[in-house]
Structure 1
Amino acid sequence: MTGTIKSRIKSIIAEQAMLEPDQISDDSTPEDLGIDSLGLVESIFALEEEFDISIPFNANEPDKSDFDISNMGTIIAAVQRLVAQKAA
């Protein structure tokens, strides 16, 4: 399941960045991928819809949120955590 979540997240972000999912590494930042603030908001909405989760509105402020959007690895971990919490 975890691998499936990761691949779905990468597909969503890749679509926003107009890249192929295999071009995205866990270390990639939204800036590295050419995703601006509007694109990031659209990506967050797409992730919420895909996984039926609610991402904190202050996700762009990691010190105020447990949803860190600084790179793909932290985004994937945060979405996986929210999906697991929903399933519990």
Structure 2
Amino acid sequence: MADETIKTRVIDILARQAVLEPDDVTMDQSLDDLGIDSLGLVESIFAIEEAFDIQVPYNANEPEASDFDISSVRAIVEAVEQLVRDQKG
């Protein structure tokens, strides 16, 4: 799967969760900027896992202990790209 496709799909998932158009989501926005709360984040992670058939190392009970960077849209896209690459082995 091409990285651009991953980026587009992740942005689509986050935009849908934020009730925004994908064109309104920029790579530098945080989840707070998008209005995505902790429940929305968990729902987004489930959607990402389903879309890419990956396991996201994120624990909602201990987000600070997670290896999954959620600091920005860019960080999430890059983390998903890495998980997809790792899965391909």
Judge same fold: TM > 0.5, yes or no.
yes
Query: Which position in structure 1 is the counterpart of 2:79?
Result: 78
Q: Return the alpha-carbon distance in structure 1 between the equivalents of residues 83 and 42 of structure 2.
A: 17
Q: Distance in 2 between matches of 1:57 and 1:83?
A: 15
Structure 2 unmatched ranges of 5 or more: none
Structure 1 runs, 4 residues or longer, greater than 4 Å off? none
Higher helix share: 2
Cα RMSD (Å): 1.2
Q: Distance in 1 between matches of 2:45 and 2:5?
A: 18
Residue in structure 2 matched with residue 40 of structure 1 by the alignment: 41
Q: Matches of residues 17-56 of structure 1 in structure 2 within 5 Å?
A: 17-56=18-57
Q: What is the Cα deviation at residue 29 of structure 1?
A: 0.5
Instruction: Please give the TM-score of this superposition, normalised by the length of structure 1.
Output: 0.92
SS at match of 2:36: coil
Q: Return the alpha-carbon distance in structure 2 between the equivalents of residues 65 and 49 of structure 1.
A: 19
Q: Which amino acid aligns with 2:71?
A: S
Q: Which has the higher contact order (CA 8 A, sep 6+)?
A: 2
Structure 1 residue runs of 5 or longer lacking an equivalent are none
Alignment coverage as a number of residue pairs: 86
SS of the aligned residue for 1:32 comes to: helix
Question: Sequence identity of aligned pairs in percent?
Answer: 56
Equivalent AA in structure 2 for residue 24 of structure 1: V
